[in-house]
Structure 1
Amino acid sequence: MDWGKGIVVVIAVFVLFMAGLVGICVKQDDIHLVTQNYYEEEIKYQDQIDKIINAHSLDYEVLTYNIQLKSVVMNLPVGAKGTLHLFRPSDARLDQKIDFQLLNKEENTVDVTHLKAGYWKVKLTWEENGVSYYEEKKINI
């Protein structure tokens, strides 16, 4: 085999390899964005920063994860209301949002045993006494 045929074979193998990779990329259907309204939420991000600052100013830990019971504990006062967002970065179809209003202390625990094992972000947005807060915790189930 001479140099000309070798070069043609190498180029042909490279083209077939690249065509295979493009085919694999085109067939993927489970690509999910972090959020569908990315630009709208980016514009509102200063409000999010203010909520995070408010949460950091608290003198107690708001979100804790109990590994043994597989539950998320929200240490919030009675009367607080908001949303608990269980966010799965690898698959948006598994995300869950739970709206709550705490009427007694027993409602502070959320059971997460039904969630698929793996990496999750727990995002808690709440309001108490007219002040908005945001806390985020990363957990492995």
Structure 2
Amino acid sequence: MDWGKGILITIIAFVGFMMTLVVISVRQDDIHLVAENYYEKEIKYQDQIEREKASVNLDREVLVFDSQSKSMVLDLPVGAKGNLQLFRPSDARLDQELKLDITEPGKTNVPLDQLKSGYWRVQLTWTENGVEFYQEKKINL
């Protein structure tokens, strides 16, 4: 075999390899955005900053992860309303959102034992006495 055939075989192998990578990347269907409506969320980000500042000024930790019981403990007053979003960055199909309406005094437990183990971001947005708040925890189940 001479140099010309070796170079030709190398180029053909390289093109075949690149075409294989293109086909594999086009067939992937499990690519998830961080959020479906991230442009809208970006525009409203100043409101999010205000909610985070308000929650820093609270005299209590509202969102606590109990690793023993695999649950989130919420310290919200009676009359508070909000959303608890369980966000799985690696797979958007596992995301969950729970509506909250606190009617009983004391701390509220939200069990997380039904969730798939791994990394989760728990985001709590709530309204208390007409003021909006936001807290986030990153947990591993």
Letter in 2 for 1:85: Q
CA distance in 2, matches of 1:43, 1:118: 30
Following superposition, the deviation at residue 106 of structure 1 comes to 5.4
Superposition deviation, residue 7 in structure 1:
1.5
Query: How much has 1:14 moved relative to structure 2?
Result: 1.1
Contact 2:73-2:107 within 8 A present in 1 as well: no
Give the percent of matched residue pairs that are identical in Structure 1 and Structure 2.
59
Identify unmatched segments of 5+ residues in structure 2.
Answer: none
TM-score (norm 2): 0.94
State the distance in 1 between where 2:4 and 2:18 align: 21
Deviation string 1:65-106 (CA, Å, 9 cap, x unpaired) is 111101011111222110000001111111111011111135
Provide the rounded CA distance (Å) in 2 between the counterparts of 1:63 and 1:30.
31
Query: Equivalents in 2 of 1:80, 1:139: separation in Å?
Result: 24
AA at the equivalent of 1:78: V
Gaps of 5+ in 1: none
User: 2:11 & 2:59 partners in 1: Cα distance?
Assistant: 64
- Asked whether the 8 Å contact 2:76–2:107 carries over to 1, the reply is no
Amino acid at match of 2:84: L
Provide the rounded CA distance (Å) in 1 between the counterparts of 2:52 and 2:106.
Answer: 25
Residue correspondences, number? 141
Within 2, Cα distance between the matches of 1:51 and 1:35?
19
Whole-angstrom CA distance in 1 between matches of 2:75 and 2:23: 49
Q: What TM-score comes out, normalization by structure 1 length?
A: 0.94
Q: Which residue of 2 aligns with 1:59?
A: 59
Aligned to 1:140: 140
